[in-house]
């Protein structure tokens, strides 16, 4: 056995069950003893009464034949007391007492009955003696009544006489019920003790415990999920840190390389300008990267601290398009905006960042003479913001991956194009915070279309639904 015999009984529950069983067993025992004793005593009384009756009959027959002489001839030490009364109930003779001082007996139940019906009997406690007396009386042919009394042991006397066997029975019963209660308690508790908390549904358990087990199982699963998510998060964080360090290192190496050359004085006067340009470009790249990392870190922290306000989506898009006009012109890409003023309750800063990144990409990954269109439209309860371009397109198998951090479709080619590889992951995170749904549709060589669907809610409805 895995546990000591009493291990279960020492638990709180065990003690309680054990005590209850013992309590019930003792009550049942006491009750059965009481019932048994009363049954026994009434049986005993009946037997004694029968006996007394036949003795009375015999005595009556004897007196009828021999008169008083018969009584006087009887054994005086007998436990039987004989009383003889006349028709009026006056005592004529008594074996134990002086008949002269005895009161009239006509009122005694058995005597009254015998006077009336010829025979009477009764049982009562004597006032003088602390015992029960059985009486049996018979009317004789001359109208007098002969009564025989027998002292009967009371229940207590019987109990005292039976003390030894009764005690033995009680002791045995207590020991048996304790053993029984012990093993019963163990049996009741065992399924609870055996419950494997790591797999609570795999055990044989009480039906009453099922919801409890299911709850534990649920929590266990949730805990496992949380743990997995935590590990995954930690992995992503580590990967991100490694990537950021790597991305920072390359421009820094380029910058310090050129600076080194200039400092050493080996660079010709005429080459200093292009070198400075390179340093400037790389520094710009570094700034953009650091800014993107800062943005992403802030978005990662659950999007708290952003200012929600009633704002015009069209105006934000207009703002973005204007700020990118020069860039578009430099890339020989035409950029346009369509739609009309649409106000919604959102975070302007994030919406600006989304549209900016999408438009910036649409220009970057375009072709000379290509175009970019931003359109704002309403579709039922939603506002659609679409950024479409006539650019190089994204291969189908990369459509999901472009939203990953530092993922770029064609590394070797994209390197020539400015960018950090963080733009679309910023877009994805920002969209999530403002409850936007982001879709992309793209065809190689034909262009791409990014659609952000936002709930067209206003401050009042937003607050009401909170
Ligand atoms: P990047 O800084 O490289 O632009 P993004 O996260 O914004 O990083 O984009 C990830 C990659 O997705 C880009 O490197 C590019 O290969 C691809 N991509 C994004 N937008 C477009 C687009 N409009 N057309 C074609 N390819 C795109």
Give the range of the structural domain holding residue 263, as residue numbers without chain letter: 196-301
Number of structural domains the chain divides into: 2
Instruction: Inform me whether the pLDDT recorded for 155 exceeds 70.
Output: no
* 375 and 451 share one domain: yes
399 in contact with ligand 1, CB cutoff 6 A:
no
390 lines ligand 1 (CB under 6 A): no
How close is the Cα of 252 to the center of ligand 1, in Å? 23
Residue 1: per-residue pLDDT: 38
154 is a domain residue: no
Residue, of 213 and 382, whose pLDDT is higher:
382
CATH number of the domain that 348 lies in?
3.30.565.10
For residue 421, the CA-to-ligand 1 centroid distance in Å is 7
Mean pLDDT over 236-255 rounds to 89
- Name the percent of the chain lying above pLDDT 70: 93
Residue 23, SS3 per DSSP? helix
CA of 453 to the centre of ligand 1 (A): 20
Q: How far apart, in whole angstroms, are the C-alpha atoms of residue 303 and residue 434? A: 9
Measured between alpha carbons, how far is residue 309 from residues 41, 225, 306, 348, 351 in Å?
96, 35, 10, 7, 11
Q: Is the CB of 391 under 6 A from ligand 1?
A: yes
pLDDT at 416 over 70: no
Does the pLDDT of residue 117 top 70, yes or no? yes
Whether 31 shows a pLDDT value over 80: the answer reads yes
Q: Which of 269, 301, 333 is the last residue of a domain?
A: 301
279-336 tens-digit pLDDT: 999 999 899 999 999 998 888 877 778 899 999 999 999 999 999 999 999 999 999 9
Confidence of residue 5 (pLDDT cuts 50, 70, 90): low
Q: What angle do CA 387, 392, 397 make, to 5 degrees?
A: 90
Per-residue confidence (pLDDT) for residue 130, from 0 to 100 = 61
With a 6 A CB cut-off, is 365 part of the ligand 1 pocket? yes
Domain boundary among 301, 324, 349: 301
Q: pLDDT tier at 3 (50, 70, 90 boundaries)?
A: very low
CA distance from start to end of the chain: 59
Of the residues 261, 276, 301, the one at which a domain ends: 301
Q: Tell me: the pLDDT tens digits for 140-154? A: 999 999 999 988 766
Please tell me the pTM assigned to this model. Answer: 0.60
Residue 354 has pLDDT above 80, yes or no: yes
With a cut of 50, say whether residue 163 has pLDDT above it: yes
Residues 291 and 310 grouped into a single domain:
no
> 138 — phi, psi (to 5°)?
-135, 140
pLDDT for 466 equals 64
**Residue indicated by tokens 């093993």:** 183
């Amino acid at each position: 056995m895995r546990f000591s015999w009493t291990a279960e009984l020492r638990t709180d529950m065990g003690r309680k069950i054990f005590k209850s069983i013992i309590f019930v067993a003792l009550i049942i025992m006491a009750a059965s003893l009481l019932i048994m004793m009363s049954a026994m005593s009434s049986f005993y009384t009946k037997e004694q009464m029968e006996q007394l009756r036949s003795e009375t009959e015999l005595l009556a027959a004897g007196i009828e034949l021999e008169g008083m002489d018969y009584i006087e001839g009887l054994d005086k030490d007998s436990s039987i007391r004989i009383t003889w009364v006349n028709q009026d109930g006056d005592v004529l003779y008594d074996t134990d007492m002086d008949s002269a001082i005895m009161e009239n007996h006509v009122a005694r139940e058995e005597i009254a009955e015998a006077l009336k019906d010829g025979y009477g009997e009764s049982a009562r406690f004597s006032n003088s003696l602390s015992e029960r007396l059985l009486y049996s009386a018979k009317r004789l042919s001359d109208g007098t009544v002969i009564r025989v009394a027998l002292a009967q042991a009371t229940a207590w006397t019987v109990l005292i006489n039976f003390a030894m066997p009764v005690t033995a029975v009680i002791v045995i019963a207590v020991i048996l019920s304790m053993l029984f209660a012990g093993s019963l308690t163990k049996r009741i508790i065992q399924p609870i003790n055996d419950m494997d908390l790591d797999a609570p549904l795999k055990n044989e358990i009480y039906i009453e415990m099922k919801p409890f087990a299911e709850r534990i199982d649920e929590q266990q699963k949730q805990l496992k999920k949380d743990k997995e998510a935590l590990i995954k998060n930690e992995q992503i964080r580590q990967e991100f840190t490694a990537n950021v360090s790597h991305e920072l290192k390359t421009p820094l190496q380029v910058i310090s390389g050129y600076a080194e050359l200039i400092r050493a004085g080996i660079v010709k006067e005429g080459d200093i300008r292009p070198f400075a340009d390179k340093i400037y470009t790389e520094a710009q790249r570094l700034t953009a990267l650091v800014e993107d990392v800062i943005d992403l870190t802030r978005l990662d922290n659950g999007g708290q601290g952003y200012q929600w306000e009633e704002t015009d989506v069209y105006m934000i898009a207009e703002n973005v398009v204007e700020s990118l006009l020069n860039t578009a012109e430099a890339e020989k890409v035409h950029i346009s905006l369509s739609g009309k003023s649409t106000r919604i309750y959102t975070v302007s800063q994030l919406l600006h960042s989304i549209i900016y990144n999408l438009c910036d990409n649409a220009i970057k990954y375009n072709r000379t003479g290509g175009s970019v269109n931003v359109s704002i439209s309403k579709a039922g309860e939603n506002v659609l913001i679409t950024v479409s371009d006539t650019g190089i397109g994204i291969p189908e198998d990369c459509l999901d991956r472009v939203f990953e951090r530092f993922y770029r479709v064609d590394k070797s080619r994209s390197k020539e194009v400015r960018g950090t590889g963080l733009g679309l992951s910023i877009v994805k995170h920002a969209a999530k915070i403002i409850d936007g749904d982001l879709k992309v549709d793209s065809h190689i060589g034909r262009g791409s279309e990014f659609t952000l669907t936002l709930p067209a809610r206003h401050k009042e409805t937003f607050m009401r639904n909170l």
